[in-house]
Amino acid sequence: MKLLLDTHVILWSLLAPERLSARAAAELESPRTELWVSPISAWEIALLAERGRLDIDGDPETWPREALLKVPAREAPFTIEIALLSRLVPLPHQDPADRFLAATALAHDLVLLTADSRLLECARIPTLAAA
Q: Pick the range with the lowest mean pLDDT from 28-42, 43-57, 75-89, 91-105.
A: 43-57
Q: What is the mean pLDDT of residues 29-49?
A: 94
C-beta separation of 5 from 71 below 8 A: yes
Q: Does residue 71 have a pLDDT over 90?
A: no
Tell me what pLDDT residue 101 has.
97
Tell me what pLDDT residue 33 has.
97
**C-alpha gyration radius of the chain:** 14
Domain boundaries, the chain: 2-129
Tell me what pLDDT residue 59 has.
77
Across the chain, mean pLDDT equals: 93
Question: pTM of the full predicted structure?
Answer: 0.93
pLDDT bin (cut points 50, 70, 90) of residue 128 is: very high
Backbone angles phi, psi at 48, to 5 degrees: -60, -45
Is 2-129 CATH 3.40.50.1100?
A: no
Tell me what pLDDT residue 29 has.
95
